[in-house]
A = this chain, B = another copy of it.
């Protein structure tokens, strides 16, 4: 019953041309007479013909598919990334093969399958690859791009936000706000984002002869972050400001602080997040957060992966996309340094005119 799909040969027969002509009619820039193309297009329309992307990929050896990994879609940040990525890649003629690795470890197992599709490139959001697989990809000429992660031992290109600077800035911001009992809520410890944010945060404090922050691990998970918040807030030397590794965890901490400990934010506790996701803007949270600008990051990723596809021999690159500390109501606001930027309030260290 299911009608077979029309093939180029079917169209050729109807149009009275060769199969090659049909192929040329659907290949931009191919050598074909205007009139012939029109005849082919008519016939194609009549038969409902669309070139078979699979067959095309087989001969051209380019699939025009990008494998995209996204674990951790619970974090509002990533769905938005997916959507933007999808649009960006589409605009360049690529399709998007989605897979969801298990959170917290590298994407190897699922990656293997995706590689059998001879994807033109690989974008890994919130995951990493093993070095072994990364070099296998390099040998096979398949560009790999880490999004919002970098890889330690392995030389893989990446697009990230300013994790290090963000961490430093937040330390300075909280200290400028008068806080001295600081804490950091780490995400997944193996993740470069969590490490860099912490390194920036703790590093700035050390450099300024301030005690290192308290520390708990929230695994970038809501429930784990709640548990970490309970431990942190139950301490006799309860911190008066917490920098949370991302907004998702910051919201968890806010909930626990308010509803379980009866704390007022920011009077009793300042909270700063990272990512500036949609819920951060909801008045209930009004979260001060370091913004990773989504669209620029995605644009950079799309541009970079396309360059890598065109020139697989190019050296790896690490793009860092500039962000801002967006000031809202969840953390005490220092007396100076706030600047309005567009419709947002951002914070710049007062000594710094930049």
**Chain A residues proximal to chain B, CB less than 8 Å:** 1-3, 5, 48, 50-55, 57-58, 63, 65, 68, 73-74, 76, 78-80, 82-83, 86-87, 90, 95-100, 110, 112-118, 136, 139-141, 222, 251, 254-255, 258-259, 278-279, 282-285, 312-313
Contacts and interface: CB of A to CB of B under 8 A. Distances in A.
Given A50-B112, A53-B116, A54-B57, A141 B97 contact: no
A238 to B, nearest CB: 20
A133 to B, nearest CB: 11
Contact of A55 (B5, B51, B58): B58
A234 B139 CA distance: 64
A100 B112 contact: no
A79 B73 contact: yes
Of listed A83, A90, A313, residue having the most chain B CB within 10 A: A83
B284 A118 contact: no
B95 A90 contact: no
Contact of A2 (B48, B82, B99, B141): B141
Contact of A118 (B52, B78, B97, B118): B52
Per assembly, the copies of the chain total 2
Given A278-B74, A282-B251, A284-B284, A50 B5 contact: no
A39 to B, nearest CB: 21
A325 to B, nearest CB: 23
13 contacts: A1-B312, A2-B141, A52-B58, A54-B58, A78-B79, A87-B100, A90-B110, A95-B99, A96-B97, A96-B98, A222-B278, A255-B282, A259-B284
Of listed A5, A54, A86, A141, residue having the most chain B CB within 10 A: A54
A62 to B, nearest CB: 10
Given A50-B115, A58-B55, A282-B255, A82 B73 contact: yes
A83 B73 contact: yes
Contact of A54 (B63, B78, B99, B283): B63
B255 A312 contact: no
A4 to B, nearest CB: 9
Given A73-B79, A284-B284, 8 more contacts: A2-B141, A3-B140, A5-B118, A48-B136, A53-B117, A58-B58, A73-B83, A97-B98
A251 B259 CA distance: 18
B118 A54 contact: yes
A148 to B, nearest CB: 16
B5 A140 contact: yes
Contacts of A112: 50
A51 B112 CA distance: 11
B3 A118 contact: no
Nearest to A256: B283
A68 B116 contact: no
A3 B327 CA distance: 50
A124 to B, nearest CB: 15
Given A3-B139, A86-B100, A54 B95 contact: no
